[in-house]
Amino acid sequence: MKPLCLVFLIGMLILSSSGCSKSIDINQSPLEGYPIASDVFTTLQKTVVPDSLPPDSETFFPYEISKYKQNGYGNWSYGTGIDFVKRLDIMPANYSGPSVTNSTRLLNFFAMTDIHVTDKETPAQVIYLGYKGGISSGYSPVMLYTTHVLDAAVQTINALNKKDAFDFGISLGDGINSAQYNELRWYIDVLDGKNITPDSGVKDDPIPGPHNDYQDEYQAAGLNGTINWYQTLGNHDHFWIGSNPVNDYLRPTYIGENILNLGNILTDPLGVDSRGFYMGSIDGRTPYGDIIGVGPVKDFAVPPKVLAADPNRRPLSRNEWMSEFFNTSSSPKGHGFNQSNVKTGFACYTFEPKSNIPVKVIVLDDTQRENDPNVQGYGHGSLDQERYDWLVKELDKGQSEGKLMIIAAHIPIGVEKAGSFIGWWSNAYVSEENLTAILHTYPNLILWIAGHRHLNTITAFKSPDDERPELGFWEVETSSLRDFPQQLRTFEIVRNSDNTVSIFTTDVDPAVKDGSPAAISRSYAIASQKIFNNPLAAAPTGSYNAELVKQLTPEMQEKL
């Protein structure tokens, strides 16, 4: 039988090469991608401005996507650019710096965050909490296009890199939505420039033909190979929907067919142990991603199911999540993590972007641990003793070695009121107040960068000692690539002629080509912002560009 099999295979190859058969198509053309617009710019040049709604706009539910356009939802135009706001908040009161020149560039990098690459067809979602206008993180039509927006952002970064090379890039957490293996592979594969099939379960094609719907396979562009990119852990990366550890009830739901049955986890004290409502999923066969299996249990004669189970939806532990970053073709291998991180689950590390510039980046996991006592949601910031001691050790080391320091973490500090679902956890080993106090003892700490809140905001942490302004530092938050304004940030750090440094931070809208999936996502994101009335810093564009000035110590003045 073996010779006959060999003859058969050879015959099939001959037929396919002659065009007589499609069983094995060795001449198949490479998969196409979704190119961005040729005009690439930052918000310094142009901004995306949502159009006002017509006065006669109809009121409808967020899932009624076909009504968006006819009612003026999601329309936008380009507005003028936004210049840098010069911020002197942490400088002495008498400082003005009128004749300062930017003498030496120290670092140029980009940051993106909260991409929330989503498997919209998974049965383990909370669409019920969002689909009628409650919470956009539970449901928003942008979830259909999360890989496409990331791909457009990567292409935009590549275009900016051609004009002015980046020293590195960093993702500040929540790269994926619900700790799923397939979500993480899509995320890494987009950055690696692989073929992407943003579809799970059975293969769906809502609109027959290639490159015309959100389920079609496409070729991602991939980040320019000269740019090293690093990764930070976010709460959505290792918790179910970013809110709870995966338990024995949730785990089989991920990979099964039955749609999740929960109570209202926002109000029911039982949290994920409550029941009563089917949370819903997306029907990937439909052009608008129709919602299925959502509503009170009593309304269903039989439990609703997704179209098919998929083992690639399996949830990942933080160890497994870190391990996947070694399965990559871009640099560096592991994207900051080492094998010790994978073994222990300790998701903190440091790196120095340029050997000839004394700048150290401290990548800090400030999400909650899986073994934290049960609280209503695991979206808080927190440090246990191990991570706090490690942070202090790295700050001490960086200070003694005369290096400027940047902390990159998913969750910001000092911006949420006590008791907030997304603020600092009240039971953390170190309180937010004490953490801020210890940070104020390091004059070489210049910057804390974060995501999490999906906002572009800047917070000044002024020195507690007016005689030592160098003890102040800046915090810069970057908005989500999922929700409007769907932006990333660039950071340029320069040494000034008057012994200060300036951090120029600029918002960037991914360039999108008309009619592309990323352009559709932008329209949906703008519509969702209006429907859900989500907070928007610096309305109407959500953009905020700034020059942040910081005093150098005499020691650093000598080193730079």
- Closest to 159 in 3D by CA, of 511, 541, 536: 511
Q: What percent of the chain has pLDDT over 70?
A: 95
Asked if residue 24 is part of any domain, the answer here is no
- Distance from C-alpha of 358 to C-alpha of 402, rounded to nearest angstrom: 7
Mean pLDDT for 503-509 is 98
Q: With a cut of 80, say whether residue 22 has pLDDT above it.
A: no
Q: With a cut of 80, say whether residue 11 has pLDDT above it.
A: no
- Closest to 347 in 3D by CA, of 315, 327, 369: 369
Q: What is the pLDDT of residue 337?
A: 98
Q: What is the pLDDT of residue 494?
A: 97
Q: With a cut of 70, say whether residue 16 has pLDDT above it.
A: no
Q: How many domains does the chain have?
A: 1
Asked if residue 164 is part of any domain, the answer here is yes
- Closest to 356 in 3D by CA, of 101, 105, 103, 102: 105
Please, what's the largest Cα pairwise distance for the chain?
90
Q: What is the pLDDT of residue 99?
A: 72
Residue 176 CA: distances (Å) to CA of 93, 111, 117, 239? 43, 16, 4, 10
Asked if residue 35 is part of any domain, the answer here is no
For residue 287, count CB atoms less than 10 angstroms from its CB and return exposed for 0-12, middle for 13-18, buried for 19 or more.
middle
- Distance from C-alpha of 49 to C-alpha of 516, rounded to nearest angstrom: 19
- Distance from C-alpha of 109 to C-alpha of 476, rounded to nearest angstrom: 14
Q: Taking CA 356 as the corner, what is the angle to CA 353 and CA 361, rounded to the nearest 5 degrees?
A: 30
Mean pLDDT for 366-386 is 92
Q: What is the pLDDT of residue 265?
A: 84
Q: What percent of the chain has pLDDT over 90?
A: 87
Contact of 113 with 173, CB cutoff 8 Å: yes
Asked if residue 212 is part of any domain, the answer here is yes
- Distance from C-alpha of 113 to C-alpha of 169, rounded to nearest angstrom: 11
At residue 343, the 3 state secondary structure works out as helix
- Distance from C-alpha of 141 to C-alpha of 527, rounded to nearest angstrom: 9
As given in the structure block, the two tokens for residue 132 are 């009628």
Q: With a cut of 80, say whether residue 14 has pLDDT above it.
A: no
CATH of the domain at 465: 3.60.21.10
At residue 539, the 3 state secondary structure works out as coil
For residue 213, count CB atoms less than 10 angstroms from its CB and return exposed for 0-12, middle for 13-18, buried for 19 or more.
buried
Phi–psi pair at 280, nearest 5 degrees = 90, 165
- Quick: pLDDT tens for 440-462: 999 999 999 999 999 999 999 99
Q: With a cut of 80, say whether residue 27 has pLDDT above it.
A: no
Is residue 385 very low, low, confident or very high in pLDDT (cuts 50, 70, 90)?
Answer: very high
Phi-psi region of 345 (alpha: psi -120 to 50; beta: other; left: phi over 0): left
- Quick: pLDDT tens for 252-267: 999 999 999 999 887 8
- Distance from C-alpha of 427 to C-alpha of 372, rounded to nearest angstrom: 9
Tokens 């033909």 map to which residue?
209
- What residue numbers bound the domain in which 290 lies? 46-195+207-559
Asked if residue 326 is part of any domain, the answer here is yes
Q: What is the pLDDT of residue 244?
A: 95
- Closest to 501 in 3D by CA, of 434, 422, 445: 445
Asked if residue 8 is part of any domain, the answer here is no
- Quick: pLDDT tens for 266-303: 788 888 999 999 999 999 999 999 999 999 999 999 99
Q: What is the pLDDT of residue 26?
A: 37
Q: With a cut of 80, say whether residue 501 has pLDDT above it.
A: yes
Write out the E strands in 297-422: 349-351, 359-364, 404-409
Asked if residue 36 is part of any domain, the answer here is no
Q: What is the pLDDT of residue 5?
A: 38
Lowest mean pLDDT among 20-29, 55-64, 200-209, 414-423: 20-29
Asked if residue 56 is part of any domain, the answer here is yes
Q: What is the pLDDT of residue 57?
A: 87
DSSP letters along 481-528, please? SSSTT--EEEEEEEEETTSEEEEEEEEEPPP--TTSHHHHHHHHHHHH
Mean pLDDT of the chain: 93
Q: Which of 9-18, 302-311, 376-385 has the highest mean pLDDT?
A: 302-311
At residue 304, the 3 state secondary structure works out as coil
